[in-house]
């Protein structure tokens, strides 16, 4: 039964702006612990979808369930990492990561323990007392990821989180995200227009149409074995699967 389902469930999600239908009939079951990616061209409604799931935008129709419970508003069960940095510039790395824990009312000693765990996990040990102005773009994004994981959401929503980074930093962040996800498994709903990123990270990829309204054209089940590392992108197997996804993407 749906009420017993663990993970993220979307049924018939539609969004209309005035007379314009942005997305139509998006229905997916994302299993608990699955890395699921929505792949589509810019402007096809990906961010609209993630904002609806996050509770930041109301759908015109449809149902969203997380672990069998209806989820319509922003809440602790959902953690969001956007493309733009969301760090507080006046707070240190430690205070940034602690923020959601403090809001929950967790005692100072315990929240410092939790925050330090995730700061180390994202490779920022030694930077606990740094302000964001002293960090690179990639390091700020690590703070975002650490803070979101520290809040312990049921579902992690990621809206092209590495889109603003240079190619080398982006590749490194993809490696690090998978390493964290493999240690601290979360249900991930990830959106991107980068085919290589989608293939490298995901268990399944939903390929969106470029039409208006946008809809899911097909679902690609990724056969690449885990664990994965950046050098896999150079293998014949990765390139073979890339060609398959490219065909589906450009049909």
Question: How confident is residue 76, by pLDDT bands cut at 50, 70 and 90?
Answer: confident
- Supply 62's token pair: 């449809």
Confidence (pLDDT) at 120: 92
For the residues 116-132, what does the mean pLDDT come to?
93
DSSP 55-94: TSS--SEEEEEETTEE--S--TTEEEE-SS----TTS-HH
Query: Under a CB-based contact definition with an 8 Å cutoff, are residues 74 and 55 in contact?
Result: yes
pLDDT surpassing 90 at residue 198? yes
For the residues 157-176, what does the mean pLDDT come to?
90
d(CA 97, CA 23): 34
Q: Where are any strands of DSSP class E within the chain?
A: 7-17, 20-31, 35-39, 61-66, 69-70, 78-81, 155-159, 187-192, 204-208, 216-221
Closest listed residue to residue 244, CA positions, set 226, 221, 225: 221
Beta-bridge partner residues of 218: 207
2 or 250, which is more confident?
250
Burial (CB < 10 A; 0-12, 13-18, 19+), residue 103, is exposed
DSSP-assigned letter for residue 213:
S
For the residues 186-207, what does the mean pLDDT come to?
95
Q: How many CA atoms lie within 13 A of 37 on its CB side?
A: 24
CA 250 vs. chain centroid, Å, equals 23
Mean pLDDT, the chain, rounded, equals 90
Query: What percent of the chain is predicted at pLDDT more than 90?
Result: 65
| pLDDT tens per residue across span 172-189 | 889 999 989 988 889 999
Question: How confident is residue 98, by pLDDT bands cut at 50, 70 and 90?
Answer: very high
| pLDDT tens per residue across span 11-29 | 999 999 888 888 889 999 9
d(CA 189, CA 64): 13
Residue in the block written with tokens 């493309």? 83
């Amino acid at each position: 039964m749906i009420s017993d389902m663990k993970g993220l469930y979307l049924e018939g999600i539609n969004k209309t702006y005035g007379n314009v239908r942005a997305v139509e009939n998006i229905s997916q079951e994302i299993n608990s612990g699955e890395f699921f990616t929505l792949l589509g061209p810019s402007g096809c409604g990906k961010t609209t979808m993630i904002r609806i799931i996050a509770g930041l935008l109301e759908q015109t129709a449809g149902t969203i369930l997380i672990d069998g419970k209806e989820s319509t508003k922003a809440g602790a069960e959902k953690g969001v990492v956007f493309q733009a940095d969301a760090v507080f510039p006046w707070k240190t790395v430690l205070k940034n990561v602690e923020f959601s824990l403090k809001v929950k009312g967790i005692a100072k000693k315990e929240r410092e323990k939790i925050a330090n765990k995730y700061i180390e996990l994202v490779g920022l040990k030694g930077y606990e007392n740094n302000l964001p102005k002293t960090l690179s773009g990639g390091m700020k994004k690590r703070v975002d990821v650490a803070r979101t994981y520290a809040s312990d959401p049921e579902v992690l929503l990621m809206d092209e989180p590495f889109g603003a980074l240079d190619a080398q930093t982006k590749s490194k962040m993809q490696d690090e995200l998978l390493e964290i996800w493999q240690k601290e498994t979360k249900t991930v709903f990830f959106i991107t227009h980068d085919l290589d990123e989608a293939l490298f990270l995901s268990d399944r990829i939903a390929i969106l149409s470029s039409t208006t309204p946008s809809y899911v054209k097909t679902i690609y089940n990724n056969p690449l074995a885990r664990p994965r590392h950046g050098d896999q992108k150079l293998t014949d197997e990765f390139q073979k699967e890339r060609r398959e996804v490219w065909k589906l993407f450009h049909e």
